[in-house]
Amino acid sequence: MNTVRSRALRVLFTALVPVALLAPAAAFASPPVAENGAVQGAAVKVTANVTRVLVSARGETDGIVLSNGAVVRMPARAFNTGAAALKPGEALTIEGEKLSTKSGDVIHKALVQKAGVTVADGRALVKGQKREHTKVKLAEVTATGQVASLVATPRGKVDKLVLTDGTQVSVRGREDLASLVKVGDKVTVAGKGGTYTAGKSMFAKTITLPSGEVKTFSHGRHKAKDTTT
């Protein structure tokens, strides 16, 4: 009888110990992380100054870098035409949804105002709604420089980088630029775009990494391809 009881106690002890050991870890677990490193967003209202206006390869405003380190990222149709004329140092009030990503805070679905005048409003955008892009003839563009910053989407994927000379480089598809480069890396990029009020911007066709490896990007939805120099 004692032998049976001892065995029963050993089984119970074996089952309970792992649970006890895991309990503290569960209590201090990190918040749930969504796709591409973005954690759950929260309503936010902030006042910050403009650091840089982000534009697409066609020259359409698609974001604003703020003095507090956060980035407003929304589709171009959310921004008024006056957004392109914003200057560094101008104060904005932003009310929207903030997501903390591995590349920094991103605000979307936001109302952006300057001195009470609406600059952008992405609160009621319909998913999948199309907008005619500005008709611009894109030119072949190249640039060489150091990466000054990586810019993430609301989902946390880095799809844009800014060089120290202000050149903005965007990629399409599923490739995450954070897996290829980091701030301070010297790269050479080639693609199609133009020069606008906010500076030079392009869709990258190729990015030559510090190692000499060349990444080739398509305008489709598949990942970049590896090529050799």
Walk along the chain (229 residues) and give the pLDDT tens digit of each residue.
555 555 655 644 454 444 344 344 333 333 345 554 444 579 999 999 999 999 999 999 999 999 999 999 999 999 998 899 999 999 999 999 999 988 899 999 999 999 999 999 999 886 655 655 567 789 999 999 999 999 999 989 999 999 999 999 999 877 899 999 999 999 999 999 999 999 999 999 999 999 999 999 976 444 444 443 3
Question: How far is the C-alpha of 96 from the C-alpha of 44, rounded, in Å?
Answer: 6
Say if residues 83 and 73 touch (Cβ distance below 8 Å): no
Q: What are 4's two structure tokens?
A: 């049976």
105: which 2 tokens? 């805070």
Domain parsing of the chain, residue ranges: 37-121, 139-219
- For the domain spanning 37-121, the CATH number is 2.40.50
- Residue entry with tokens 């990258």: 204
SS3 category, 196 = strand
Q: Are strands 214-216 and 225-227 parallel, antiparallel or unpaired?
A: antiparallel
| pLDDT value, residue 116 | 96
CA separation for the pair 215, 205 (Å, rounded): 8
User: Max alpha carbon distance in the chain (Å)?
Assistant: 89
Q: How much of the chain is helix, strand and coil, in % rounded to 5?
A: 15, 45, 40
Fold (CATH) for 139-219: OB fold (Dihydrolipoamide Acetyltransferase, E2P) (2.40.50)
37-121 and 139-219, same CATH topology: yes
Q: Answer whether 166's CB lies under 8 Å from 151's CB.
A: no
Give the span between the Cα atoms of 34 and 42, in whole angstroms. Answer: 14
Q: Is 203 in contact with 227 (CB distance < 8 Å)?
A: no
